[in-house]
Amino acid sequence: MSQNPDTWLTRFHRLGSPPSFYRLAGILMPFIGIICIALFASGLFGGLVLAPADYQQGESYRIIYIHVPSAWMSMFVYALLATA
């Protein structure tokens, strides 16, 4: 009784090899980039155009949709660099 050596587990473990992973990443990168740009554009549109204005601060409130994610990202990058 012979076993098939090309199971999903062996294919998954093969991704641990840099040449195999880089080949797959090179194939998937354009698709992931397009999805990333589309999601970024829809989030930016939703935050700056579709979100209602605040009743006290008016239109200047919408900067929070840019400022807060940027602040979180900068804190994450700082923590990542501090632990590296």
Quick one: 19 and 58 in the same domain?
no
How does pLDDT run across 27-45, given as a tens digit for each residue? 999 999 999 999 999 999 9
Tokens of 11: 């294919």
pLDDT band at residue 4 using 50, 70 and 90 as cut-offs: low
Name the helix (H) or strand (E) containing 74: helix 64-83
How does pLDDT run across 53-72, given as a tens digit for each residue? 888 988 888 888 889 999 99
Domain with 69 in it: 53-84
Quick one: 5 and 37 in the same domain?
yes
The whole model's pTM is what?
Answer: 0.65
Per-residue DSSP letters for 3-21?
Answer: --S--HHHHHHHTTSHHHH
Q: Are 47 and 62 in contact (CB under 8 A)?
A: yes
pLDDT band at residue 24 using 50, 70 and 90 as cut-offs: very high
Quick one: 4 and 45 in the same domain?
yes
Q: Are 49 and 35 in contact (CB under 8 A)?
A: no
Overall number of domains in the chain = 2
CA dist., res. 8 & res. 2, Å (int): 16
